[in-house]
């Protein structure tokens, strides 16, 4: 939308916006898809939505269903799923935000056919109902007999000021990525809502426990079979170092790429930087790598690092001591990610090239670590114990 048109649009009352948007959709023949069929005989019927970041909403649904007690549906706005991760129910944000008929229908669907709702990233799951007021939406679902929980994915609950105070390389020191003060107000409001309601609350990565210490860890899940290693790393003379940032600023690409290119020009490594690779092609990318440079500004790790560990490759990333301690305690084994701050990346890569046997043994621990914490079993148990079967 043109900036002037956008400013004018925001001066229109919500009821007027809904009327205009819905009229345009009707003229275009846009109709919401029917809701998926839920297994009504299951005692627990769960909806997760509406963001499905890295396909996690879909995976949490599937792993919950392995108990035999749960039928689950994940819902995502099309715009929140640009990489096309699997999803049970997709809908445009425009329809969710402006179609009052759809907002009424999803509330009716949840009330009649579901027992639990897990809201992702503090996004209003009833769309624009009550102008997206989460408190009113949650109260309405609870009045309908639904048990409601919340899961934080990342920057929806990571307070920029707190992260910047802890992390020297935090992207929140400047506005090169997002204006920190603008994100600060959004996240502070989300944290206030979570603290006020004290619903069953989860976070998908250990670093987010700094912001919500009483939350339960609901680890990200990967399909480990897709990433199973077939070769050992560090066998070639010139080791292959790959960096595939989904967000170059947040991952620290501008800092580490010059270091990696220098080592490439020196002949020590073969450096490959990739962007925009579909997820279904990444197993072959990792299979051909020796070392994967993940992220260097957040202090945490997510899906990409798990996929790399499952591939039996060496992950190099900046891992905060708090994160390492949390996951090692829960997994009962060391986290096989080689930790390096930006100012130590060159030193660490040179050490990997010199001490190959040691780092091969580190990489070999990756599949076992992922099987312990990120195969779905831990997440399934957390959902059942703290939400789906909790009194």
- What's the rounded Cα separation, in Å, for the pair 113 and 221? 26
Do the strands 89-91 and 116-120 form a parallel or antiparallel pair, or are they unpaired?
A: unpaired
Residue 5, pLDDT score? 45
Give the angle subtended at the CA of 266 by the CAs of 260 and 272, to the nearest 5°. Answer: 35
- What's the rounded Cα separation, in Å, for the pair 172 and 181? 9
3-state helix, strand, coil in the chain (%, to 5): 50, 15, 35
Asked if residue 5 belongs to a domain, the reply is no
| 147 in the same domain as 78 | yes
* CA distance between the termini of the chain: 47
| 86 in the same domain as 15 | yes
Residue ranges in the chain modelled with pLDDT below 70 = 1-27, 29
CATH code for the domain in which residue 335 is found: 3.40.50.2000
pLDDT tens-digit readout, 296-348:
999 999 999 999 999 999 999 999 999 999 999 999 999 999 999 999 999 99
- What's the rounded Cα separation, in Å, for the pair 298 and 323? 11
Q: Are 318 and 297 in contact (CB under 8 A)?
A: yes
| 320 in the same domain as 305 | yes
Residue 230, pLDDT score? 84
Q: Helix, strand or coil for residue 314?
A: strand
| 206 in the same domain as 64 | yes
| 208 in the same domain as 81 | yes
Asked if residue 3 belongs to a domain, the reply is no
Encoded tokens for 132 = 């997206």
Do the strands 116-120 and 147-152 form a parallel or antiparallel pair, or are they unpaired?
A: parallel
Residue 17, pLDDT score? 59
Encoded tokens for 141 = 């679902």
Q: Are 190 and 208 in contact (CB under 8 A)?
A: no
- Domain total of the chain: 2
| 79 in the same domain as 162 | yes
pLDDT tens-digit readout, 245-292:
888 999 999 999 999 999 999 999 999 998 777 777 788 888 889 999
| 237 in the same domain as 207 | no
| 369 in the same domain as 381 | no
Which DSSP helix (H) or strand (E) runs through 41? none
| 14 in the same domain as 149 | yes
Whole domain around residue 323: which residue ranges? 224-373
């Amino acid at each position: 939308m043109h900036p002037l048109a956008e400013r004018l649009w925001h001066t229109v009352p919500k009821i007027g916006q809904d009327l205009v948007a819905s009229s345009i959709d009707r003229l275009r023949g846009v109709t919401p898809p029917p809701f998926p069929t839920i297994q009504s005989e299951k005692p627990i019927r769960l909806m997760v939505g509406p963001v499905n970041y890295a396909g996690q909403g879909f995976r949490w649904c599937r792993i919950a269903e392995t108990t035999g007690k749960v039928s689950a549906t994940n819902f995502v706005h099309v715009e929140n799923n640009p990489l096309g991760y699997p999803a049970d129910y997709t809908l445009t944000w425009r329809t969710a935000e402006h179609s009052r008929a759809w907002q009424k229908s999803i509330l009716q669907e949840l009330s009649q056919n579901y027992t639990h709702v897990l809201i992702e990233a503090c996004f209003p799951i009833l769309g624009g109902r009550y102008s997206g007021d989460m408190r009113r939406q949650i109260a309405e679902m609870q009045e309908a007999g639904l048990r409601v929980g919340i899961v934080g994915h990342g920057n929806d609950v990571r307070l920029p000021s707190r992260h910047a105070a802890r992390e020297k390389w935090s992207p929140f020191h400047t506005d090169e990525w997002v204006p920190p003060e603008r994100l600060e107000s959004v996240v502070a409001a989300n944290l206030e809502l979570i603290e006020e309601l004290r619903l069953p609350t989860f976070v998908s990565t250990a670093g987010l426990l700094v912001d919500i210490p009483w939350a339960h860890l609901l680890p990200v899940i990967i399909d480990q079979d897709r990433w199973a290693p077939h070769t050992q790393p560090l066998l070639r003379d010139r080791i292959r170092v790959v960096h595939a940032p989904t967000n170059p600023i947040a991952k620290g690409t501008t800092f580490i790429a010059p270091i990696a290119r220098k080592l490439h020009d020196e002949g020590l490594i073969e450096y490959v930087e990739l962007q925009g690779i579909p997820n279904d092609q990444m197993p072959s990318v990792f299979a051909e790598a020796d070392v994967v440079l993940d992220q260097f500004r957040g202090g945490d790790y997510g899906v990409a690092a798990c996929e790399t560990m499952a591939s039996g490759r060496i992950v190099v990333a900046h891992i905060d001591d708090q994160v390492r301690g949390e996951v090692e305690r829960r997994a009962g084994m060391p986290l096989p990610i080689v930790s390096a701050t930006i100012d130590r990346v060159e030193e660490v890569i040179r050490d990997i090239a010199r001490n190959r046997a040691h780092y091969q043994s580190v990489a070999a621990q990756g599949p076992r670590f992922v099987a312990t914490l990120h195969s779905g079993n831990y997440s399934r148990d957390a959902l059942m114990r703290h939400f789906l079967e909790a009194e």
